[in-house]
Structure 1
C-alpha cells in the first residue's frame, strides 16, 4: 500500500511541475476589439427608397486595414461596403425584416455584429384618414405625415352613406370603413380591399341588409369586440375566431315581467361589450321609442349560435327622451345625455355604471341651461371629465361634475358659415378634430380644423379634405 501511495505522490508532483513550467511558455497577444455604433434599432422605408447608414467603428488598439464587411437583410447579403447605400428591394410586409451588419477581422477571423430592423411600408403607413359624405355616397381621403403632404382621395369604391372609420387591433390593425351598405376591411399597408361584409357575406345572408351602426372599438374600455346594428334594430356580433358576424338577434321584441313582447326602436348610440374572455358578453342599447336602456345578452340555450344576442331586457328608470350622447369620463363612470329636439328638453345621468343598473330617478337631472341643438355633435373627454359639443359653429364645454352649470365657450374662432359635421378627440386627447361642411360648390367641400382640446386655439386647418367629414382616424 505504501508503494502505491509513493507512486501516486511522484505522479502528482511531476504533474504540478509541468503545469507551472507550461504557464511560462504561452505567447499572449492583445486582441484589437471593434465596437460598432451609429446604427439605429429600426428604420422605416418605402420600397425603392434609399437606405443609407454610415456606422462608426472604434478599435481598442488601432484600426486594422484587414477588415471585411457584410450587410444582411432577411439573411441575404445586400452590400459588402463599409457604409450601406441600398435601394430597398424587398416587398412590403406587416412585420419588420431582421437585418445585420457584420464586420470581420480577417487576420484573426473574428466577427462583430450589430443587428437592426427594417420596416418596409407604403405611402399610406401613417397619417390622417378622413371618411366623408359626398352626394350621398362615401369618400375616403388620406394625408401622409409631412408638412407638404396633400390629401389623396378614393371615390366610388364604397357604396352607401358613411358611418365609421377604425383601425382595430382585433383585426390585425387593418382599416375598416363602415357604410350603410357594407363594412369594408382594407389592408393597412396597401389600403386595398381584403374583405367586405354585407348582406351576401353574413353568416345568415340578408339581401336587404341596411347597416345603422358598426364599431370594433369600445367607447369605454378600448376592448376589441365588434358589433353591428341593422336598420331593423337587429344586432350582429363579430366572431373573430372565424371572421364572420353572428346570426342576427331576433326581430325586435322585449322580454318584460308579464312576458309580453314589445317592439322597440334601437338607437345607434350604445356601449358595447360583446367580447368577454373569448365569449359573447352583452351590450347596453337604448330604446328611443319609449326612452329606456336595453340590456342585450346571449342565452346559450336559446340558440345554436353561441354568439347571437338573443335576449334583451329593459333597464329602469324610463327616461322618456331620445339618447343624445354616451361616454366614459372616469374609470367605471359613464355619462348619458338625453335630448328631445321637439320639446328642446335635455336631461343627464352624469355618473352610472356601464350596464346602467341601479340608477334611480333622482340621478336623472334636467339641464335648464343647455345649448344643444338637433345638429349638435357631442364627444366625452375621459382625460379631463368634460363634455365637448357644438351649437352652430361655436364649440362649448361642460364639466361632467357640474352639468347643471352654464356651458362655457371653448372656441368661437371657426368660420361663421358652414356646418359642423364631426367632433372627435385625438388619441392623446390633446387635440379636437372638427369636421366642417363649408357649403362650397364642387367636389371637395369638407374642411377639418384641429383645435387645442384645452384652450380651443386653432392649431391646424386642412381644406378640401373631401366631402362633409363624418369620421377621422390617426392611422398608424
Structure 2
C-alpha cells in the first residue's frame, strides 16, 4: 500500500511541475486587462461652445507600447474625425440631452476591446441652471443681460465660476437694439410634444416701445407682441403691454390701465399661436371690463392647477382666470374666463383676516404665488393698511385643480420692524421659509416659523435696491438675486438665512462687495430667474 501511495505522490509532483513549466510557454504576460477611469467623473454638465477635454487614466502604462493600442471616442455611439487619440478634445457644437461620451481601447495583439463611458449633458449658452435674466435701463434704452453659474460647489455652497453677459439681445440679433422704456420680463412655456422633450421657455420683454417675444435658447427675437393681436394691431392706440399669464390654452396680458386681454390657442405646443382678442375681459357675471388689474406671477402648470390668480385693484379683490375647458358657454369661447373667489375658506375666522373679496382700506404692495402643490401652494399678499401704514402679509393656501381652486387656509401676520415701506419684496417659490423686503439700501427678512418676531436685517448695499428675485427652482430655493439702481447685480445665499454668517451671504461677485465697474448695467429694472423646466409664470 505504501508503494502504491509513493508512486501516486511521485506522479502528482511530476504532473504539477509539468503544468507549471508549461504555463511559461504561453505569452500570458502580454494579456493585461485594461481598466479605464476619468478621474472620478461620472457625470459631465457642459455648455454649448465650451471645450471638453478628457484625459483617461489607465491601470497600466499604455504609452510603453504605443503601436499596440488604438483609441476611439464616441458621442452617443457616433465618432468623428480626429477622435482617435488618447486624449479627447472637442469644442462642443451641439446640445446633448441624455448623452454619453465613451472611449474604446483596442489591444491589437489580442483583439480585445476595453470600454468606459461618462454621462454627458450639454445645454445651450443661455440654459444653465442657477441663472438670472436682468432687464436694465441704459440711457432710456432697454438692455437684457444674462448671469449664469458655470460651476458650483454644493458642499460649500459657493459659486466657483460664473459668467455675466451684457446685452445678450444685441449679441443674438446682430447688434440690433431691444427697444426703450423697459418694464418687466416674463418667461413662458409651451406644452411638450413628447414626454422626453426638454422645453426652454420663451422670454417676453415688456417695454414702452413695444413688447417683444424672444427665444429662450438663443434670445433671438421671434415676434413683436403686437403681431399676436387680431389683425396685427392693438385694440386702441397708445396701448403698452404689461405681464400677465401664459397658460397652456389661454394667455392673458394686461395694458398700462390694468385691462386684460386674452387669447384661446388652437394648439398648446406652439408659442404665440392664434391671436389676442380686442375686447377687454370682464369678471364672470359682470358687464363692465376689469381695470387696474395685476396678474400674479408664480407657478402655473395645467396638470397641477388649471388657473392663475388676478388682483382686481379697482374693486380690491382676488380673482382667478381659468386655463380652458370644454364646458364653457359659447360666448366665453375665445376668451379667458375670470371668476370670483370667496372671502375666505370654510374654517377661517373672517374677523382675523383681510377678506379676499373686499380688501378696501389696504394697498397691495406685492403679490406672488408660492409652492408647486398642496399643502405648500398659494398666494402671498403684502398689504399696507392705509389708515395706519402698518404692513401685513397674508398667505392664502389653495388646493384643487382643473380650474376649481378651493381656499384651505388664510394666515395674516403683521410685518414688524421695517424702517419704511418696502419698495421690493420676494420669496422662494418652493416651500418658502422666509420673505425678503427691500427698504432703501437694506434687505430684511421675515421668518415664517417666527412670524411674531420683528424682521431681521440681512444685507446692506451701497445704493438703493430696485429689483430682487429669489430662485424659483422647485427643489431648492437657496439663492436670491439683487439689483441696484446703480447697475450692480448680486447673488445672495438665503437658505437657512437666520443661521448664516456675513461671509456666507454674498456669492457673487466673488470678491464680496467690491463690484467690477465694467459689469455695471445702467439702472436695473427687473430680474427674473431662468426656470428651464417647463413651469410657467
TM-score scaled by length of structure 1: 0.71
Report if aligned partners of 2:186, 2:203 keep a CA contact under 8 Å in 1.
yes
User: In 2, distance between residues paired with 1:148 and 1:294?
Assistant: 41
* Alpha carbons of structure 1 residues 367 and 45: separation in structure 2 relative to 1, 3 Å: closer
Deviation, structure 1 residue 199: 1.5
Match of 1:56 in 2: 58
Report if aligned partners of 1:296, 1:313 keep a CA contact under 8 Å in 2.
no
User: In 2, distance between residues paired with 1:402 and 1:395?
Assistant: 18
Gaps of 5+ in 2: 1-24, 151-159, 171-176, 192-197, 344-356, 510-514, 533-537
Report if aligned partners of 2:469, 2:481 keep a CA contact under 8 Å in 1.
yes
Aligned-partner SS, 1:200: helix
* Structure 2 counterparts to residues 117-136 of structure 1, below 5 A: 124=126, 126=128, 128-136=132-140
Deviation, structure 1 residue 466: 1.1
Match of 1:281 among 306, 323, 345: 306
Report if aligned partners of 1:131, 1:164 keep a CA contact under 8 Å in 2.
yes
Cα deviation digits, residues 66-88 of structure 1 (max 9, x gap): 33322334623434755125353
Gaps of 5+ in 1: 1-26, 218-223, 439-445
Deviation, structure 1 residue 379: 1.5
Cα deviation digits, residues 431-465 of structure 1 (max 9, x gap): 33221103xxxxxxx11233342148351445543
Match of 1:138 among 118, 137, 142: 142
Match of 2:254 in 1: 230
Matched, 1:211 2:241: yes
User: In 1, distance between residues paired with 2:299 and 2:126?
Assistant: 31
Report if aligned partners of 1:45, 1:118 keep a CA contact under 8 Å in 2.
no
Report if aligned partners of 1:254, 1:263 keep a CA contact under 8 Å in 2.
yes
* Structure 2 counterparts to residues 162-177 of structure 1, below 5 A: 162-166=183-187, 172-174=199-201, 176-177=203-204
User: In 2, distance between residues paired with 1:347 and 1:70?
Assistant: 65
Aligned-partner SS, 1:449: strand
Deviation, structure 1 residue 95: 3.8
Matched, 1:152 2:166: yes
Match of 2:113 in 1: 111
* Alpha carbons of structure 1 residues 425 and 71: separation in structure 2 relative to 1, 3 Å: same
- The structure that is strand-richer by fraction is 1
Aligned-partner SS, 1:264: coil
Report if aligned partners of 1:68, 1:103 keep a CA contact under 8 Å in 2.
yes
User: In 2, distance between residues paired with 1:412 and 1:114?
Assistant: 48
* Alpha carbons of structure 1 residues 45 and 467: separation in structure 2 relative to 1, 3 Å: closer
Report if aligned partners of 1:68, 1:80 keep a CA contact under 8 Å in 2.
no
* Alpha carbons of structure 1 residues 402 and 81: separation in structure 2 relative to 1, 3 Å: closer
Aligned-partner SS, 1:199: helix
Range with bigger deviation, 27-36 or 331-340: 27-36
User: In 1, distance between residues paired with 2:250 and 2:141?
Assistant: 23
* Alpha carbons of structure 1 residues 137 and 270: separation in structure 2 relative to 1, 3 Å: same
User: In 1, distance between residues paired with 2:231 and 2:292?
Assistant: 21
Match of 2:529 in 1: 473
Match of 1:312 in 2: 339
Report if aligned partners of 2:245, 2:253 keep a CA contact under 8 Å in 1.
no
User: In 2, distance between residues paired with 1:148 and 1:319?
Assistant: 44
* Alpha carbons of structure 1 residues 233 and 372: separation in structure 2 relative to 1, 3 Å: farther
Match of 1:380 in 2: 427
Match of 2:37 in 1: 37
User: In 1, distance between residues paired with 2:454 and 2:243?
Assistant: 29
Aligned-partner SS, 1:70: strand
User: In 2, distance between residues paired with 1:264 and 1:346?
Assistant: 26
Matched, 1:267 2:309: no
User: In 2, distance between residues paired with 1:342 and 1:206?
Assistant: 43
* Alpha carbons of structure 1 residues 340 and 299: separation in structure 2 relative to 1, 3 Å: farther
* Alpha carbons of structure 1 residues 204 and 65: separation in structure 2 relative to 1, 3 Å: same
* Alpha carbons of structure 1 residues 263 and 119: separation in structure 2 relative to 1, 3 Å: closer
Report if aligned partners of 2:52, 2:89 keep a CA contact under 8 Å in 1.
yes
* Alpha carbons of structure 1 residues 203 and 456: separation in structure 2 relative to 1, 3 Å: farther
Matched, 1:407 2:454: yes
Matched, 1:425 2:481: no
User: In 2, distance between residues paired with 1:274 and 1:386?
Assistant: 21
User: In 1, distance between residues paired with 2:438 and 2:501?
Assistant: 12
Deviation, structure 1 residue 389: 0.8
Deviation, structure 1 residue 141: 1.6
Match of 2:9 in 1: none
Cα deviation digits, residues 242-293 of structure 1 (max 9, x gap): 322565475232334xxx5244325324266765249x93222111111111
* Alpha carbons of structure 1 residues 106 and 410: separation in structure 2 relative to 1, 3 Å: same
Match of 1:6 in 2: none
User: In 1, distance between residues paired with 2:466 and 2:141?
Assistant: 15
Match of 2:317 in 1: 292
Match of 1:24 in 2: none
Aligned-partner SS, 1:163: strand
Match of 2:348 in 1: none
